[in-house]
Structure 1
Amino acid sequence: MTSSAVLAAADTAERKGRPARPRRSAATRQDWIVGYTMVAPVVLGAVAFVIVPLVAVLWFSLHDWNVLANTFVFSGTDNYERMLADPGLRDSLLASLWFSIGLVVLNVTLALFLAVLLNQKLPGTTTFRTFFFSPVVVSLVAWTIVWSFLLQSDGGINGFLATVGIEGPNWLRNDVTAMLAVIVVQVFKNVGLNMILFLAALQGVPEEIGEAARIDGAGAWRRFRSITLPMISPTILLVMILTIVGSLEVFAQIAVLTGGGPGNSTTVLVYYLYQQAFRFNDFGYASAIAVLMFLIVLVLTLVQWQTRKRWVFNEN
């Protein structure tokens, strides 16, 4: 017997001594096929509409790209170095900071207050809820245009104030009132959605816990602070993430109400990006600003997600 035959015989004997590998049944294979088929649209959508655009924007940010001049030249990190010395970018970051703070504080506070009122089951609750939720389904541009007429120097708000002997300011032509006006318009546009989220969370708080605390002598504020707020803290986290991300994406309100003015007082980061790309045709620099926006949103979301363990109820 040749050596190859001996080796083949030994290998056959070794395989016979091993336990047979279980074969996947037809049902298991079918489950795998169905599973991959179900997740394929989400995976393909994420690749096509999230990952590929992110990579493209990062690539564009490394170039000097002017559409009108038809130039697309690799510039390395020049656009990022330009951001460090750009006073317009610093102004837009500051405007975005003030807008985000004002929006989060007013929106979350008002939404929670309205949800607490609705949870009391007072007469007229349905009408009250409809009144505050209806702006959510109204066209954003139409909503903003109506407010632009109301906020004019001779508009509806100042006309109402004049009837009681008060001379209202030119809301959209003053640095402070212009930013305040944009914040208020955005708050009333989306507060209804957060109100419904808080209302659903409040209705999930067990009534017996609050009743036991009331019997023990806890007042209404103490019950709300020590029982209700911790129980709805997961919803507060969700609302804050949605509101902060939404505050960094505000565009239509700025474009219709103020155009970024007066001066640069309401030129938030996303509007500054729009100006660089579509007004000055500097798509390379605009892409670098888009990368900066992505990093800001990512960092803020990660910070909130990591700190949730300290204040969100039942988080480990």
Structure 2
Amino acid sequence: MARPPDPASALPATTPRPFWTIARRDSVAGLLFVAPQLAGTFVFVLVPLVLVFWYSLHEWNVLANTFNFTGTRNYEQLLSDPQLPGVLLASALFSGGLVVLNLGLALLLAVLLNQKLAGITVFRTLFFSPVVVSLVAWTIVWGFLLQHNGGINGMLGLLGVEGPNWLRTPTTALVSVIVVQVFKNVGLNMVLFLAALQGVPRELYEAARIDGAPRFKQFRRITLPLISPTILLTSIITIVGSLQVFAQIVVLTQGGPGVSTTVLVYYLYQQTFQFHRFGYGSTLAIVLFAIVALLTLAQWQMRKKFVFHEQ
């Protein structure tokens, strides 16, 4: 009698799973796409950050070709630097004035340019055009205008007003640098605010008008909460940018008069490349990095309280 066939032998042989599955191919493709960004972050961010910290523990004299370990001496010198309080004050005043004027003016312009009027596109282009102008060229032109016998005082003279020497007195010099920077970059924040305003549903304003809400209350209760993510983004960008201002200081005031416009980045440049104190300059760079990181982290944490979509 014939033996019945084994049921297991009747089953087809299982095909081995290929190594390059769709999931693995997608993972490799994703890694290849982000690899340039990761390599750039490692080479141009992480490695320099580690090297700056290492240099801050040394005294590097390029002219004498010496590189000596000094430990925390540069940090101790930082605490006793008589010019540092004035530098930090100038940095705080510059950043505070720039953020308030830039964001306030950008939001005002965005609200005005959000109206459906004939020729409004031309005004949007005019307000945005300084953003694409060369920073150095823009600053040089303003440097001529702000001279004692420059264009601004000339126009004031036509009105019978004697203008000050804008770049040679501490208060007007700082205000002048802030205004020049505001006019240079206000167009970028204006465009961001304009895009956010156009994304607010019109039905909310119509419902508010039916309920009798005035325009200011509509702006405070509807517009500001709904564009709060854009406000957070622009504030972070503006604050970080204000702490990195350099070209305007070099061209307009060279940090003067005194230290009234010597912001932290320019003071870092002076100590490192003019006085050849690379170790102390690296210490100042660590301080700048810590300030930017703390401010950015604080703003990011505040989003849970002030940003509409995070509440």
Q: What CA deviation, in whole Å up to 9, does each residue of 1:227-272 have, x standing for no partner? A: 0000000000000000000000000000000000001100000000
Identify the match of residue 279 of structure 1 among 274, 281, 289.
Answer: 274
**Please, which of 39, 52, 62 is the counterpart of residue 44 of structure 1?**
39
Paired residues, number: 297
Matches within 5 A, 1:35-184: 35-184=30-179
- Give a deviation string over 1:105-161, Cα, whole Å, max 9, x none: 000000000000011122321121111111100000000000000000000000000
Moved more, 90-99 or 123-132: 123-132
Partner deviation per Cα, 1:169-216 (whole Å, 9 max, x = no partner): 000001000000000000000000000000000000000011101110
Q: CA RMSD in A?
A: 1.4
Q: What is the CA–CA distance in structure 1 between the aligned matches of 2:202 and 2:247, rounded to whole Å?
A: 42
Indicate the residue corresponding to 2:4 in structure 1: none
SS at match of 2:258: coil
Q: Quote the residue 2:298 is aligned against.
A: 303
- The gaps in structure 2 that reach 5 residues or longer are 1-15
Aligned counterpart for 2:206 among listed residues 208, 211, 230: 211
SS at match of 1:190: helix
CA distance in 2, matches of 1:22, 1:302: 47
Residue of structure 2 in register with 1:251 after alignment? 246
Match of 1:270 in 2: 265
CA distance in 2, matches of 1:27, 1:238: 37
Corresponding residue to 2:191 among 158, 172, 196: 196
* Matched letter for residue 257 of structure 1: L
> How far apart, in 1, do the equivalents of 2:300 and 2:18 lie?
42
Distance 1:78 1:105 in 2: 37
SS in 2 for 1:281: coil
CA deviation digits over 1:36-71, x for unaligned, max 9? 111111111110010000000000000011211222
Tell me the distance in 2 between the aligned counterparts of 1:241 and 1:138: 23
Q: Tell me, what secondary structure is at the counterpart of 1:172?
A: coil
- In 2, Cα distance between equivalents of 1:92 and 1:68: 27
How far does residue 29 in structure 1 lie from its aligned partner after superposition? 2.5
Amino acid at match of 2:305: R
Please give the secondary structure, in 2, of the residue aligned with 1:263. Answer: coil
- Long gaps (5+) in structure 1: 1-20
SS at match of 1:261: coil
- Give distance in 2, aligned partners of 1:222 and 1:105: 21
Q: Distance in 1 between matches of 2:25 and 2:215?
A: 57
Corresponding residue number in structure 1 for 2:228: 233
Counterpart of 2:27? 32
Alignment-mate amino acid for residue 216 of structure 1:
D
What's the TM-score once normalised by structure 1's chain length? Answer: 0.92
Compute the displacement of 1:23 (Å): 7.0
Deviations 1:267-302 (A, max 9, x none): 000000000011000000000000000000000000
Question: What SS does the aligned partner of 1:87 have?
Answer: coil
Q: Secondary structure at the match of 1:65?
A: strand
The separation in 2 between residues aligned to 1:238 and 1:145, in whole angstroms, is: 30
1:25 is displaced (CA, Å) by 4.9
Alignment-derived partner of residue 10 in structure 1:
none
